[in-house]
Amino acid sequence: MPNAALFLDRDGVINVRKHNGYITSPDEITFLPGAANAISRLNKYFSKTLVITNQQGIGKGLMTESDLEKIHQKMIAEIESEGGHIDKIYHASQLESENSIMRKPRPGMIHRAMDDFPKISLRESWLVGDTTADLELAQTMGISSVFVHSPAEADSGWEEFKPALVVGSLGEFADILVGMADG
């Protein structure tokens, strides 16, 4: 898929989500089992692998842009240690109450990615997320969605967004995609 991008949410897809809180330093990030390896395997099928993440902890003053950069450096190092890569990370630091175009489910981060990588075909792309905001963004932008289902999201109303796939992990999505490509 030469013009396809893989859009990945961060918390709950790549790393363990910190419920009722924010990951504010690199030592707080814990990778989900197999996530870094899955990204390495998925890189082969997408022209760009991009992370899109809401990070209102910055807007709340709980961390700085520099803190977030250090967290992302650790994340990238872990992914690279498994032979994978991330082409770019986009984040929205605004508060939810600001109703910013940048915060998911609004499309600002996707628009920025399209500005940076104009050859991306959204129709060929996939977005992997674990919240209804991720699924709503994918639906709005015409991107195929993958819902990483967790018990915390069981009653969130995700079904109404009709994701193309429902998986238990990023690794499971990689297994499915490899099977589809080989089949």
Say yes or no to pLDDT of 138 above 70.
yes
The Cα–Cα gap between 183 and 177 comes to: 10
Name 128's bridge partners.
8, 146
Could you tell me what percent of the chain has a pLDDT over 70?
96
pLDDT, tens digit, for every residue of 148-165?
Answer: 997 666 667 888 899 999
Please identify which residue in the block is written with the tokens 């109303």: 157
pLDDT of residue 117: 98
Please give the torsion angle defined by the CA atoms of residues 8, 132, 101 and 128, in that order, rounded to the nearest 10 degrees: 10
pLDDT of residue 49: 98
pLDDT score, position 97: 94
Note the pLDDT of residue 160. 87
φ/ψ region of 50 (left if φ > 0, alpha if ψ in -120 to 50, else beta) reads beta
**Local confidence band at 99 (pLDDT 50, 70, 90 cut-offs):** very high
Least confident of 19-28, 121-130, 133-142, 147-156: 147-156
Q: Enumerate domains of the chain plus CATH numbers.
A: 5-182 (3.40.50.1000)
Predicted TM-score (pTM) of this structure? 0.95
pLDDT at 183: 63
Q: Is residue 25 a contact partner of residue 58, using CB atoms and an 8 Å limit? A: no
Q: Residues 48-94: pLDDT tens digits?
A: 999 999 999 999 999 999 999 999 999 999 999 999 999 999 999 99
- Distance between CA atoms of residues 49 and 64, nearest Å: 24
Positions marked active-site = 9, 11
Query: What confidence tens digit (pLDDT) does each residue in 166-183 have?
Result: 999 999 999 999 888 776
pLDDT tens track for 109-120: 999 999 999 999
pLDDT for the residue 122: 97
Give yes or no for a contact between 79 and 40, defined as CB atoms under 8 angstroms apart.
yes
- CB count within 10 Å of CB 104 equals 24
| Average pLDDT of the residues in 118-147 | 96
